[in-house]
Amino acid sequence: MSRKKIIEIERDILGKNNGIAAVNRALFVADDLLVFNLLSSPGAGKTTLLVRAVSELKRRRPVGVIEGDQQTSNDAERIRAAGVPAVQVNTGKNCHLDAAMIGEAYRHLPPLTGGIVFIENVGNLICPAAFDLGEARKIVVFSITEGEDKPLKYPDMFAASSLMLINKIDLASLLDFDLGKTIEYARRVNPKIDVLVVSARTGEGFGALYAWIDKQAGDQRRIVEDTRL
């Protein structure tokens, strides 16, 4: 198959995905729902981070989670144990969630009007960057155990994300890790990216994360009102 043919097919797949993502987005806005797409390498701590966040956020508003993995339903079970509804999507051979999977999974969540849905994507710093799911914001979770150079080596993911959560900061004193360099590299591929430093294990930095989420909720309401004027 020629390179040109492959590019055409990729464009076709992404075009169809974007159409479904637009439908998802309209539905989420109609349901007054704020949707985040969480992305990272395998093992960066997305699920541990979500378990802590949803346990706290559910006291203030409805929260639901869509979990993506090649196999297993471990993550959805961990979220449900925190008292929050979760739907597991298994992608099988696929390396990312797509908008159609999210549209289908969303129908299996209870009504969450005025609340938040977190989508935990498959652990992969490459493929999920290209697939809009209809989310309000992409959040990339980066573990300090991965090394400072990852934003430069996987630039598409950091360019597509609105927020970088630098996780496992409780391990910082044990590793040769340069926080300033990591942020510099992330801003080199995405000058507008927000950055927060957290520990999903200890809870450090989660107050700032909740404030960031509140700000996105305000932004979404303002955009929706502006569109209606």
Residue numbers of the site for a copy of itself (CB under 8 A)? 1, 6, 9, 12-13, 16, 41-43, 69-72, 74, 93, 95, 122-127, 130, 143, 145-147, 149-150, 152-156, 168, 171, 174
Output the smallest distance, CB 139 to a copy of itself, in A: 17
Q: 224 to each of 24, 128, 165, 227, how far by Cα in Å?
A: 15, 26, 27, 5
Considering the complex, what minimum distance in angstroms separates the CB of residue 25 from a copy of itself?
A: 22
Rounded Cα distance between 162 and 76, Å, is 25
Angle at 129 between CA 128 and CA 134, to 5 degrees: 80
In angstroms, give the least distance from the CB of 9 to a copy of itself.
6
Of 12 and 214, the one with the shorter C-beta distance to a copy of itself is 12
Nearer to a copy of itself, 95 or 208 (CB): 95
- Nearest Cα neighbor of 143 from 45, 68, 71, 62 is 45
**How far is it, in rounded angstroms, from Cα 28 to Cα 157?**
23
CB of 119 to a copy of itself, least distance (A): 16
Backbone angles phi, psi at 65, to 5 degrees: -135, 135
**In this structure, are residues 103 and 19 in contact, taking their beta carbons and an 8 Å threshold?**
no
Minimum Å gap between C-beta 213 and a copy of itself is 25
- Looking at beta carbons only, is 119 or 213 nearer to a copy of itself? 119
Which CB atom, from 10 or from 219, has the smaller least distance to a copy of itself? 10
Burial of 120 (0-12, 13-18, 19+ CB in 10 A): buried
Minimum gap (Å) between residue 15 Cβ and a copy of itself = 10
